[in-house]
C-alpha cells in the first residue's frame, strides 16, 4: 500500500497549480517524470534475451550520444563504455550502439557491467514511460491509499497502463 509522502504531495500540489495557472506542458511533463517513481513499480523478470544490449542509446551529461566526439568524451570519462560499438548513419551521426560483450544472449562481464546496464529497464521506463516491446518486466501501478482527482494526471496514468496492457498482449 502506497501512502503519499511529503515529496509526492509537493509534486501533486505543483501539478494542480500548473493546471490552474500556467498550463505549461513542459512543467507537467517534468512533474509526471518525477511522479512515475512514486506511482509505479516494475514487476516480472528478465528473460535474459539480451535485447537491451543491442541497438541501445547512450547518454552523457543528460545528452544523447549521437556523434563520435560525444562518444569519445564519454569513453574518456569512463573507459568501461568502450564496449559499446557505435553504428554510424550516412551523415556520420551515431544511430545506436551494440555491445561487444553480449555472446549468445549472455553478458560476458555481468558483475562489472556499467551503470547504464544496471539501471535498465527502470531508467528506460522513467525516460520513455514504457518498456521495450519484448521486455520481460512489466509496469504496475502501486496500491494507492488515496484517490488522484486531477483529470490530466489521471489521464496520463490510464494512458500508460493502457499502452502497457497492449504491449503485454503483443509480447505474448
Does 130 contact ligand SF4 by CB under 6 A? no
* Contact (CB, 8 A) for 54 and 102: yes
For residue 43, what is the enclosing H or E element? strand 40-44
H/E element holding 95?
A: strand 94-99
Q: Give the x/- contact pattern for ligand SF4 in 6-45, rule: CB under 6 A.
A: ----------------------------------------
Alpha-carbon distance values, 152 to 23, 99, 146 (Å): 11, 39, 16
Asked if 109 interacts with ligand SF4 (CB under 6 A), we say: yes
Q: Decide whether 9 or 46 has the Cβ nearer to ligand SF4.
A: 46
Q: Closest CB to ligand SF4 among 2 and 96?
A: 96
Residues in a beta bridge with 44: 137
CB atoms within 10 A of CB 22: 11
CB of 89 to ligand SF4, least distance (A): 21
- Point out which residues bind ligand SF4 (CB under 6 A): 46-53, 83, 99, 101-102, 107, 109, 113, 117, 120-121, 132, 135-137
Amino acid at each position: 500500500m502506497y501512502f503519499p509522502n511529503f515529496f509526492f504531495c509537493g509534486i501533486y500540489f505543483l501539478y494542480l497549480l500548473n493546471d490552474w495557472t500556467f498550463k505549461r506542458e513542459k512543467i507537467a511533463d517534468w512533474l509526471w517524470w518525477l511522479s512515475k517513481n512514486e506511482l509505479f513499480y516494475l514487476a516480472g523478470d528478465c528473460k535474459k534475451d539480451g535485447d537491451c544490449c543491442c541497438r541501445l542509446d547512450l547518454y552523457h551529461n543528460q545528452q544523447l550520444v549521437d556523434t563520435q566526439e560525444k562518444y569519445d568524451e564519454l569513453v574518456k570519462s569512463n573507459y568501461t563504455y568502450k564496449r559499446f560499438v557505435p553504428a554510424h548513419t550516412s551523415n556520420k551521426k551515431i544511430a545506436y550502439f551494440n555491445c561487444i560483450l553480449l555472446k549468445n544472449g549472455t553478458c560476458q562481464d555481468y558483475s562489472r557491467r556499467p551503470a547504464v546496464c544496471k539501471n535498465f529497464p527502470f531508467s528506460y521506463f522513467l525516460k520513455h514511460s514504457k518498456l521495450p516491446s519484448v521486455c520481460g518486466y512489466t509496469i504496475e501501478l502501486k496500491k494507492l491509499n488515496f484517490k488522484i482527482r486531477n483529470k490530466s494526471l489521471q489521464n496520463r496514468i490510464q494512458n500508460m497502463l493502457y499502452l502497457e496492457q497492449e504491449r503485454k498482449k503483443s509480447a505474448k
